Structure formats: C-alpha cells, structure tokens
Structure 1
Amino acid sequence: MDERQKIILILTSIGSFLTPFMGSSINIAIPEIGHEFLSSAILLSWVTTSYLLTSAILIVPMGRLADIRGRVGIFLSGVAIYTAGSLICTIAPSAEWLIVFRIIQGIGGAMLYATSIAIITSVFHAKERGMALGINVAFIYTGLTIGPFLGGIVTEFFGWRSIFYLNVLIGLFVLLAGMKYLKVPEIKEEMTRFDLPGSVLYAVTIFLLMIGFQELPSEPGIVLFALAGVSFIAFVYQENRAEYPVIRLSLFTKNRVFAFSNLAALINYSSTYAIGFLLSIYLQNVKGFSPFSAGTILIAQPIMQALFSPAMGKLSDKYPSRLLATAGMAMITIGLVPFANLGLETSVTFIIADLAFLGLGYALFSSPNTHAVMDSVNERCYGVASGILGTMRLSGMMVSMGISMFAFSLTIGRDPLSITDLAGLVSAIEIAFAIFAALCALGTIASYVRNPKKQNRTEDSS
C-alpha cells in the first residue's frame, strides 16, 4: 500500500465514519431535543427516520450518477452537502425544521454511502482490496462504538447542537483534504444519459416498501405494500426498455455472486441491527441498569467488530470470501440463539461474552461479503454496486426495527415501557431474537449457495 492509497483510504474511511457516528450519537440526544421542543415520541422518531429514509431512496441513483460523472466528484459533493446539512441543523428552531435539515444530511449521506467503497475498490488491487475494505468497515464500527459515548459527553456539557458542530468540523477536514489529495483515475460514462424515470421509480418503490413495513400489519401498511408492488413492476419495465438503466437487472439475474451476496447482507442487517435496541431495553427495564452502564455493556459487540474487521478483510484476500462470510453468518446465528432464551436471571457476564462473540462473527461476515460484492462486478458499475449494497444495509436496519415492533405488539401492545409487565417484556424480546436467529440461518444458506467458482465479469452482467 503506497502513500497515495493510504491517504485515499483514510479520507474515504473518515467519510464512512461520519454517517454511523451521527446516527448513534444523535440517538443519545433525542430526549434533550424532545425536552427543548416539547415534541412527541412519534415526531422525534422522524429525526432519525428522515435521514435513514432519504439515504435509502437516493443511494442507488447517486451510485449510478457517480459511475457516469465520476465518484470522487460525487463523494466530495456529498461531504459538502452533509456538512452544510449538519451546520443548519445547529440553528433548527423546531423539531419539524430539524427533520427537514436531516433530510438534507441524508442526501449527502447517500452520496457518501454510494461512493466511498466504490473509490476504495477502484484504487486497490484485488489482492489488497479485502484488507482496505476491512479497514473501511472498522471505521464504520468505530463510529457506531464511540457515537453514544462521545455524543453523551458533548450533549451533557455543551447541548445537543454540539453533536452537529462536531460533524461540521470532521466534514470540513475531509472536504478540504479531499479536494487536495483525492486524485483518482476514473473510467467515466460521460456519453451515457442518466435514467431519471428509473431513478424516480426506484426511489418511490423503496419509499413505499420502507414506510409500508413500518405500518404492518395494519390496512395502510398492506395498501402501501401493494402500491410498492405496482411501482416495482413499472420500475422493471422501465429498466428493461431503457438504453442506460439506473440498475442493470442482469446484475441479479446473471450474476449469482452479486445477487446472493446482497441477499445475505440484507438478511444480516435485518437480523442484527436491533440487537442494541432490544438489549438496551432489557438491561435498563429488566436489569435496572442506568443508560450509561447499559451503553458500556453494549459496546462489547462493535468493539470486536472494529478490532477484527481489518484482519478478516485481509483474510478475504487469501481465502474465498464465500466461505469466510458464511462462517461469520453461522457464528451470528449461534450467537443469537441464547438471546432468544433470555430470562430475568441471565447474567451480565454471559451477555457481554455473547455480544463479543457476535461482534467477531459480524467482522468475519461483513468485510469478506463486501469484498465478494465489489469483486463480482466490472469497474464501470462500482458506484451502482456500492449503492445497492448500501440499500441492503439501510433496508435491513428498518426491517430489523420493524420485526422488533411486531414482537412488542404481540405481547405488550402500546403500553408504556414504564408500566409493562416484565415477563411480557422479556417474552417480546425473546420472540424478536428467535425471529432474528431463524432469519440469520436462512442468510447462512444464502451466503453459502453463491457461486463458489470465479465468475467472469462482463459489461452486460455487471
């Protein structure tokens, strides 16, 4: 790895660090935001959801635009928009305006999601790519790890707006350094046209699916799902007839590695993202821990992910990504099973040990699986491939939370947590983890059945 590659890796990884750090740190500040603006819990939930949803619906179109116009330009533009969004969040006069400003952040976040991995993939040779992607993943997990801790400190001493100021400082550093040092030779498709109708249909489909899932099993949720199906059919029709589609459907129909690796990623995030949410409730409401103590226990998982992701990425340079990712998914499945049997007397030591085991499994899965996705496509499609993988991640996060809400609705309904029967609360958590374990077992199969042989990458299929 030469000096140029190191600088590019550091800058793109700091860019990847920003979004999970923002997400995990702002959650700590939600109660203080609600206190200042006198907002309801439902309205405050959109402070997080608005960013997540905006990024999800724009990430693939932004990836395609990056393939056409250049990834570095889109990356730097994303940093600028994200930083500007962070700055104006500091002057939000109400929760409603904060949500609007978070949407602007989400636009910049989509541009970062869609390009950082694509830039790394294009700069590093296949024999070094796994290690580089592992380092990038480690930065993501570091953001998740220190977000609650650092966010809690700055919120307590300087107020919730200081979190956004911190993001402004980091964003300005990446932007200024990137303008000077991000010099990457790129293959652009400047003569091709951007598929605006396909991009709009894609965004509408993802929007309806994600909002509809949140509303299930109510009638509005079913209606939104039906509309999403109609939108998806229109999207497929548009992509089949478009000269330059936003997504070549052959990526899924002819590229088995790409299709099943993304499916594995979707299932993985769907079965793991809500772990912290569920255990936070368990530790505080059942075990009686303070928020700080519960957060300290929960960092066992992301710390292991951050520590071991670079090493696991390096392993994927030497050994088949399929086998490593499958082993990681199997470890996660094994680690989820005990949480499906949580009881009132489960020891904290056991919980920490199981979280550490899950973190190791996640590190073993994530870096090699990302390597498999990016290595299965042609360089001209790195932006789209990165965007689709990001969509799997964001969609999986919302599915995971949706499963958790479904489990709670089965046992405790809409009763406030403060007056909920502990047995019913534990039962809901056990149901959610049982569903996650079953999902992860299916994900292990999806990871294993991807084509074990080296797949040729063609312009059409990738």
Structure 2
Amino acid sequence: MQSRPVAPPVTDAPARRAALAAALLASFLTPFMGSSVNIALPPIGREFSLDAVTLGWVATAYILAAAVFLLPFGRLADITGRRKIFTSGLGAYAAASLGAALVQNGGQLIVLRLLQGVSGAMLFGTGVAILTSVFPPAQRGRVLGWNAAAVYIGLSLGPTAGGLITEAFGWRFIFILNAALAAAAFLAVSRSLKFDFREAAGEGFDMKGAVIYGLALSAVIAGFSEMPDAAGVILVVLGGVGLGMFVLIETRTKHPLLQVSLFRGNPVFIYSNAAALINYSATFAVGFLLSLYLQFAKGFSPAGAGLVLVAQPVLMALISPFAGRLADRLEPRLIASGGMALSAAGLLMLAFIGRDTPLVYLMTALVVIGSGFGFFSSPNTSAVMGAVERKCYGVAASTLGTMRLVGQMLSLGLAMLLFALIIGRVPISAAVLPEFIDSLRASFALFAALSLAGVGASLARNRVAGAA
C-alpha cells in the first residue's frame, strides 16, 4: 500500500492552507465544548443531584484524560503520522460527544467526559505540530496567533451558545452539537489534508513510561479532589513519586516519551513551559467559578451568565493575532510577561467580589484577564516551538499542551480543594452561599499570587528574538 506523502515543502501554498484550516477547526472545537459545558454545570448538577466537588469532576475528567494521553499521542504522531492521529481523534471525539448526550446519571457523564478527553488529546498537540512543520519560522508567530484566536473564538461562543442551547433545548443538545461539528471537521480534514509528517518514523514507543506517567498524573489529580482527607494526601504523594520515577526512566530510555534532553541547556524551553503551567493554573478556573457565582449568587440564567463570561475570551481572540505578530518582531518573553502581569491584576480584582458586586466590576476584571491572556498565549507558544529542532515538534507541542492541561487541572483542583475545605461536600444552595463566596475569594487571591509568580518564570528566559 502506498504511503501518504510526508512533510510538503513550506512553499506549497495549498498545503499550508489545508493544514491551517485543519488546525483551526480542531482548535475551535475543543474549547467550545469545555466553555459551553461550564455554563451547563448548574442544570446538570440539579438533574443528577451532584455536590460541588463531584460537579467539578464533570469538567475535570475531560482535562485529566487529555493530559494523561497528550504526551503519548504526541509521540505516536511523530512516529506514525500526525495526520493519522489528528483525523482519528476527530472521529473518536464525535462518537464520545454523542454518547455523552445519552447518559442517564452523573457517573456515566464523567466516564464519557473521560473518553472525550482521550480523543481530545489526539487533537491538542498534533494541530500545533502540523502548523509548525508547514510554516517557516518567520511566519510562525502569525499562524500560531490565528490558532490561538480560533481557541478563543471557541471560548467566546461557548458560554453564550451553551447558555442559549441549555435554556432552549437542554444541556444534552450541547453534546449533540459538538458531535455534529466534530463529524463535519473529520470529513473536511479527510478530504483536504493529503500529506503527513513522520519525522520520527521507525523509532520505538515508550509504553512503560506512558503507563507510569498516566497513573502518576491521575493519582495527583484524584488526590487533589480528596484533600484534606488522608487518602487525598497519600494519592498526591504517590503521584509525585511516580512522576519523579517517570522522569528518571525517561533519561535512560533510547526513545523516550518525554525527551528530557529538550530541557537540558534550553532555558527558553524550560521557562516557557513553566510559564504556561503557572498561567493556566491561575486562570482556567475563572470561567467555572464565575459561572457558578452568576447563577447561584446573582440569579442569572445560563444564557445570561454566558453573555457576561464572553467578555474574557472575546478579548483573547482579538488580541492573540496581534500578539503573535509582535512575537515575530520583538522578544516573546517581554510580551508574554506583560500579559501575565495583566492577568494577575484582573484576578486580584476578583478576590474582592461579594454577593452585591456590581456587574460592571466583574466585566472589567474579565476584560483585564482576557487582555493579559491574549498577550501571553501566542508569544509563549512561539518561544516554545522555536526552541527545538524540527523532528521534535510533536513532542514539544505535546509538552506545551501537557503544561496547559495540567495547569487547567491544578486550577480546577485548587478550586475544588477550597470548596471541600470551606463549603464541604454539599450541593451549592442559599444555605451555604456565604461559604461559597468565601471560597471564591480565597480561590481568586491564590490565583493572583500564582500569576505574579509566573511573571518571574516568564522573565527568567534568555533574550530570544521571536523571529529566531
């Protein structure tokens, strides 16, 4: 059987357009799913009688599975073909989304969210790796800015569309819509993307490392949801030990899952990934927390809450392409660091919210956070991808994606931990509203401190011109 052509020349304009369209479709789809489901969490919680911590797992399960499988699928994409993994992920994502629309209880929904996350992992890293393979370094910041804009457009439409869909048709239709979008993307990509990338073809796959990594990461996140109980502490410790073992094994493996050598003598790669981890840890739970706040404390409908929350991702979508172009001319570290400082200011504003906080105050904070994130994302991605050689693009993109997803999990995990400490394992209601507000304030104060720490990690990078 004839194999597909590998890595077309960067001068092939139709190939570039096909790669860009494919990556943008996937980059829109996954955040649209996440942000629309966040708006639907209160109705889901009421239908299945879920407490605050279990409700958080509806969001966390997807991210956990994606984080566990992102590095393995990134490595497999480099070996077997990025197009193959990418299109398979779209098909599996459509099937899992349709299944989630048919669940009968919270446990089934969490399982289907896990399956969505596995298929999402096949999309996260491969799309960025394909773009980086096709476009030359001088255009990398620009196309990654467009890719970031697609992510934020998905985030922007998700809350509004999710709220309107939930009110008009019920929350299950959100999953039906995502299944239809994924199926359409699968058909479009199968027809237009005719080439593949297998720069690591013939190398081995580190199955032992993949298993240890997945179990260790799962233990850490599961432990966060059980803390401060002893079982939670034990799981976190065991997971931390497991991650340490994973890194040690990877240094002694011929074809490792995670190329530890990428971090050696490469401060740009190290600190850019650290900055991404901290930034997502500090910002991701904002939508989840404010969705609950607006509906439980303010009495907003799902559609009304979505219209408020749309302010943050709209700013991200508007600013990301501009920030990407700046990263082609200026130092990515300075642009990204300034963006993270803006996000810290917005998070600090939210640390003072109460039941009677004016809506204009909330929206101002969201605008500040969204602007900061828009200036951070594409310059930071450009710095990461520019710090490795071509054959490592899949692993580098997956490493960055893993930082993003682990940061998102830590963000939700910290929020759920504070829920457990301050509210307890009870459904959110008027009886626990004061405790709920206290947990929000504590979460946003912690996230603001994390974001300030991230500014230091971002500035610690060596001076690197974006075009280099």
> What pairs with 1:46-85 in structure 2 (closer than 5 Å)?
46-85=57-96
Q: Is the 8 A contact 2:163 2:302 kept in 1?
A: no
Residue 346 of structure 2 is matched in structure 1 by 335
For residues 39-188 of structure 1, what are the structure 2 equivalents within 5 Å? 45-184=56-195, 186-188=197-199
In the alignment of these two chains, the number of paired residues is: 457
The answer (yes or no) to whether the contact 1:67–1:383 under 8 Å persists in 2 is yes
| Residue in 2 that maps onto 1:201 | 212
Deviation digits for residues 217-247 of structure 1 (CA, Å, limit 9, x no counterpart): 2211111122113322331332122111111
Following superposition, the deviation at residue 90 of structure 1 comes to 3.7
Partner amino acid, structure 2, of 1:56: A
Cα offset for 1:56? 1.0
Q: Which moved more, 1:302-311 or 1:231-240?
A: 231-240
Cα 1:185–1:399, aligned 2, differ >3 Å: closer, same or farther?
closer
Query: Aligned AA for 1:25?
Result: S
Q: Which moved more, 1:402-411 or 1:269-278?
A: 402-411
The equivalences for 1:326-405 within 5 A come to 326-405=337-416
Partner residue of 2:258 out of 238, 247, 260: 247
Q: Deviations over 1:404-439 (max 9, x none)?
A: 234344544446532346554433322222211111
Q: Which moved more, 1:398-407 or 1:132-141?
A: 398-407
Out of 220, 233, 238, which is 1:227 matched to?
238
Matched residue of 1:178: which SS?
A: helix
Q: Which deviates the most, 147-156 or 5-14?
A: 147-156
Structural mapping, 1:320-331, within 5 Å? 320-331=331-342
* Contact 1:63 1:384 survives alignment (8 Å): yes
Unaligned runs of 5+ in 1: 458-462
The verdict on how the C-alpha distance between 1:173 and 1:60 changes in structure 2, with shifts beyond 3 A counting, is same
Q: Which amino acid aligns with 2:391?
A: R
Deviation of the 1:369 alpha carbon:
0.5
**1:331-375 residue CA offsets vs partner (Å, 9 max, x unmatched):** 111222222223455332222122112111110001101111111
- Whether 2:330 is the aligned partner of 1:319: answer yes
Matched, 1:433 2:444: yes
Aligned-pair RMSD on alpha carbons?
A: 2.6
Distance 1:128 1:24 in 2: 29
Higher mean displacement: 377-386 or 1-10:
1-10
**Contact 1:412 1:420 (8 Å CA) reproduced:** no
Matched, 1:418 2:429: yes
In the superposition, relative to structure 1, how do residues 27 and 286 fare at CA in structure 2: closer, same or farther (>3 Å)? Answer: closer
Change (3 A) 1:178 1:344: closer
- Shift in Å at residue 94 of structure 1? 4.6
In the alignment, what sits opposite 2:37?
Answer: 26
- The one-letter amino acid paired with 1:176 is L
**1:111 and 1:294 mapped to 2: Cα distance?**
31
Check the 8 A contact 2:164/2:303 in 1, yes or no: no
The answer as to 2:458 corresponding to 1:447 is: yes
How has the CA–CA distance of structure 1 residues 341 and 90 changed in structure 2, closer, same or farther, with 3 Å as cutoff? closer
Q: CA, structure 1 residues 176+281, in 2 after alignment: closer, same or farther (shift >3 Å)?
A: closer
Contact 2:160 2:310 in 1 (8 A): no
Q: Does the residue aligned with 2:167 lie in a helix, a strand or coil?
A: helix
Q: Distance in 1 between matches of 2:416 and 2:109?
A: 25
1:39: Cα distance to partner?
6.3
Deviation string for 1:40-80 (max 9, x for gaps)?
66655544333221111000011011111111111111111
Runs of 4+ in structure 1 over 6 Å off = 38-41
Q: Identify if the C-alpha distance between structure 1 residues 158 and 285 changes in structure 2 by more than 3 Å, giving closer, same or farther.
A: closer
CA–CA separation in structure 1 for the residues paired with 2:289 and 2:49: 26
Amino acid at match of 1:190: A
Give the direction of change, closer, same or farther, for the CA distance of 1:9–1:212 in structure 2 (3 Å limit). Answer: same
Residue ranges of structure 2 left out of the alignment (5+ in a row): 1-10
Contact 1:321 1:371 in 2 (8 A): yes
Identity %: 46
Cα distance, 1:201 vs. partner? 1.2
1:69, 1:188 within 8 Å by CA — same for their partners in 2?
no
2:202 is paired with a residue whose SS is coil
Greater Cα offset, 273-282 or 199-208: 273-282
Tell me: CA distance 1:39–1:291, structure 2 relative to 1, closer, same or farther (3 Å).
closer
How does the TM-score come out when normalised to structure 2? Answer: 0.90
The answer for the alignment partner of 1:460 in structure 2 is none
Contact 2:69–2:118 (Cα < 8 Å) also in 1: yes
Q: Secondary structure at the match of 1:253?
A: coil
TM-score for both structures, normalised by structure 1: 0.91
Deviations 1:57-109 (A, max 9, x none): 00001101111111111111111111222233344455444433333322210
